[in-house]
Chain A
Amino acid sequence: MNETAAIELASKALDLARASGAQSAEASVSIARRFHAEARENVVARLEGSTGKSLFIRIFRDGRKSTLSTSDFSADGLRDAVVRAVEQADLVSPDEYAGLPDEVAEAGVRLDLNDERIAARDGAEKIEEALALERLIRAADSRIVNSSGSHYTDAVAVTAMANSTGFAAAYTWTRAGRSTGPVALDGEVKRIAQYGTAARSLADLEALDSVATTAVRRAVDLFGARKPPTMRVPVIFERDVAAALLDDIFAAVSGANVAVGNSWLSGRVGSRIGSDLVTVVDDGRVPGGLGTSPFDGEGVATRRTPVFDRGVLQTFLYDTYYARKLGAASTGNSNGGGVGPSNFYLESGSMSLDELIAATPQGVLVMDTIGFATEHASGTYSRGARGFFIEGGEIAYPIDEFTVAGQYTEMLAGIDAIANDLRFDAPVVSPSFRIAEMTVSGN
């Protein structure tokens, strides 16, 4: 991977845009070499390896914005596409807020995002890792009779950006992941668990045997699960499903949603929303974080932004456009086309998940959810779920085929305990936490 080549391609695209009539423009280039090995039993079921390029350009003309994304890098193809994108701007309404950022990141900021060991890894070694994970899940428990596959993936990539104010910068990043899907047979019922982990460096990656045992435990611990009764109870969201709630909270604080009326938090900056325990941060500089980068999707320096401080909503998150529109400053959260998270997380508490369970006389521990349609305008949350019923501070029995539902206003105010198990294995992450009362719907 070559940062200079990526910057050159971005600069070339920028020149084409200006020659075609753009008054200002910005080009982002990503060049990535991706690898994926999937093993199932003792067979390498899938082996994929490719190097791909993508180019994304934003063009501004008289306050009108047009974008281009292309994988056609032939001289004619690229020129024609840029001309077309510039022409399309004529149909866009002039918008006083559209344009490049006022201030871009300093060039040359080096964050530790590149583990050279990943690029240097031998293909056979990576394939063996997928095969080993597959062996480990089957050896871990005799009830594991099948799997949906065990995977090793990695990427070595360069992200480059240039804009017409003279900004030009690039960084190299890596990512590696391990995941598996053991299937256990519980009588007639197949129980599958999907568990995986990812990191910027091999050293930060959860060990193979730990990935295997966690995945297997999630499949077999659900044996005999039944549908719970419908009830109002305290609900603990385990780390991974807690992160999915943070996704919803991000959507509600995204300036892009706030600006179009699609957020239940509209107009509530400065208000107490959550309990005292709720401190939520977006931080683009978390060491080793998968959402860490020196600059965002329009070249603005990433930073640390407290979003909720002890329950009080401090700010929304913005790119340049939505910041201008809503009278704020960019928080370095452009994802190219709109507003995206960097490392967005709920701050950890002090007790372990086990201690949190022990401190819960009666409740539900949610290990997995399915579904995704939170209604962001009203903040209505409802998901399919599986997990455990807790009685007397102990896991009593596994439960599945139920839903858990609530209103986000009540849910954030109801967070009454947070565990200490936060880790940065995705851009949006959370420690496990408990909500004082939600509706569990079953029988």
Chain B
Amino acid sequence: MLDRDLLSRLLGRALQHGGEFADVFCERRHSVAYRLQDGRIHDASYGVTLGVGIRVIAGESAGYAYSDDLSERALLEAAAAASLIARNSPAGTERSVELRPERVASAYDGARDEALDAAKYVAMLERADASARRYDPHVVAVNAHVSDEIQEVWIATSDGRIVEDRRPLVTLGVQVVATDKKERGSGYVGDGGRVALDFFDRETPEALASEAARIATVNLAAIPAPAGEMAMIVGAGGGGVLLHEAVGHGLESDFNRRGTSLYSGRVGERVASELVTIYDDGNLREERGSLNVDDEGVPGQHKVLVENGVLLGYMQDRLNARLMGVESTGSGRRQSFRFSPQPRMCNTYMPNGDRSFDEILASTERGIYAKSFAGGQVEIAKGDFVFMVGEGYLVEKGKITAPVRNATIIGNGPEAMMKVVAVGNDARLARRHYTCGKGGQYVPVGVGMPSVKIASITVGGTQHE
């Protein structure tokens, strides 16, 4: 996007007052999206994100400035603004940085065909709409959207590297509302990933839409959720939201370097039941959270976060890795050129255990089966987390009985993970539609999990016996 000579001068200007590291993040993103409402294509949108972010790291400090004006003058001004963070450091002269381009392998060569007939998007939405309405006469509204983007990034670093990545991201989401005049229920299903549109030849719009309609009709018939402590079976796939909230955020290195996470200083300690192993992986093929290189130019990696219950390491970006005396794990991510990087998750998942789902179910006298999740949140200092059930059922005497209305589940990270008493042999990655928010920045992520039983957790319904 910018020529090598200019990148080199920007890095030099950024380090004019000193600092140990600088990078220039260039981004060009094109996205298209269509929305369907009331059985019709409601609108189309097109988006272009074009700009450059420049960062300087000096000790524990980072200076950042961005520009959507790509003129040399404006970019040099941004570099000078970022350099101010180091204005009080001792050594400072503008220096030149020699840059060498590097190539990285791709985990997602499926990419949007620019010449693609845009009518394909419309057809997908219309097929989804028809399928949801066919599913059940109680379906009264179908809202569907498809978005397709290519984000191209070029990252130049003061250690002399230039790397680039070209990241496709497609999402088809279907929201369905069902009503019987008295009650209402809704269901949402989304999928896609870093794939080409032919992904939806495998995971058809019809299948996604009828799944959303099924959840809406289940929720329509749902009874109020129970309140109080009970056993919980977390469903395979989307149950990975539990790992993301209960453990994942607490292992991001910014919190741990600063000592604000409850997992700070606990590498090597037992933080979960020995049945629990958790990975975060930036290389999984086609997953939403995969990155050939992260937003600091470091290749995506497979990280073992927790193995047999023992904490093995954190997810690192460059700034925090440097201060903690370790290497980056390729976890530096940002929403766009307007934001400085943070350590973030990519795709967080738990591998298979040895129990069948039927065994886990049969062992549960009374509890809740949370089959899918609408999202979650965590407070990293004490470690209390919540996640919101999208589709849930009561379990009574080893059997799934009535569906229950959306409830929030609350627990404490290590406490809940210590109470993992069974891990299923049905591990899979969730459908690809999750987006994670942290400090005002939103990035696509993946999650996955086998069915897991937690001996006891607080279910936040309204029915208190």
Contacts and interface: CB of A to CB of B under 8 A. Distances in A.
Interface string A6-49: 00000000000000000000000000000000001001111111
Interface string A379-419: 01011101000000000000011111111000000000000
Given A74-B70, A91-B121, A67 B50 contact: no
A401 B340 contact: no
Contacts of A439: 227, 460-464
A247 interface: no
B460 A441 contact: yes
A308 to B, nearest CB: 20
Contacts of A260: 37-38, 141, 143, 177
Interface string B36-63: 0110111111111111000000011111
A192 B386 CA distance: 17
Nearest to B229: A443
A441 B406 contact: no
B460 A382 contact: yes
B381 A371 contact: no
B72 to A, nearest CB: 14
A103 interface: no
B393 to A, nearest CB: 16
A230 B460 CA distance: 9
A171 to B, nearest CB: 21
Interface string A355-388: 0000000000000001111011110101110100
B85 A402 contact: no
Nearest to B37: A260
Contact of A148 (B67, B183, B186, B260): B260
A46 B61 CA distance: 6
A85 B33 CA distance: 11
Contacts of B70: 74
Given A81-B48, A190-B262, A231-B464, A378 B405 contact: yes
Nearest to B259: A146
A301 to B, nearest CB: 24
B184 A371 contact: no
Contacts of B408: 371, 373, 382-384, 403, 405
B81 interface: yes
Contact of A230 (B121, B227, B260, B261): B227
B66 A50 contact: yes
Contact of A89 (B37, B44, B65): B44
B84 interface: yes
A91 B124 CA distance: 13
Contacts of A384: 377, 384-386, 408, 410, 460
B110 interface: no
Interface in A206-239: 227, 230-232
Contacts, number: 269
B78 interface: yes
Contact of A47 (B64, B67, B262): B64
Interface string A255-292: 00001111010000000000000000000000000000
A1 B432 CA distance: 41
Given A89-B44, A146-B259, A48 B229 contact: no
Nearest to B336: A71
A372 B375 contact: yes
A373 B381 contact: no
A53 interface: yes
Contact of A402 (B40, B118, B381, B458): B458
Nearest to B337: A71
B406 A373 contact: yes
Contacts of A441: 227-228, 410, 458-461, 464
A261 B462 contact: no
A136 interface: no
Nearest to A67: B45
B384 A44 contact: no
A113 B338 CA distance: 25
Nearest to A406: B462
Interface of A: 40, 43-54, 65-74, 77, 81, 84-85, 88-89, 91-93, 95, 123, 146-148, 181, 183, 189-192, 227, 230-232, 259-262, 264, 370-373, 375-378, 380, 382-384, 386, 400-407, 438-443
Nearest 6 CB-CB pairings of A with B:
A403-B460, A373-B388, A261-B141, A192-B381, A93-B40, A384-B386
22 contacts: A40-B258, A45-B61, A49-B81, A52-B67, A70-B48, A71-B48, A95-B42, A147-B260, A148-B258, A189-B382, A227-B458, A261-B177, A370-B379, A371-B386, A378-B406, A382-B406, A383-B386, A400-B384, A402-B410, A405-B227, A405-B408, A443-B458
Interface of B: 32, 34, 37-38, 40-51, 59-70, 78, 81, 84-85, 118-119, 121-122, 140-141, 143, 175, 177, 179, 183-186, 219, 224-225, 227-229, 255, 258-262, 338, 340, 374-382, 384-388, 390, 405-412, 458-464
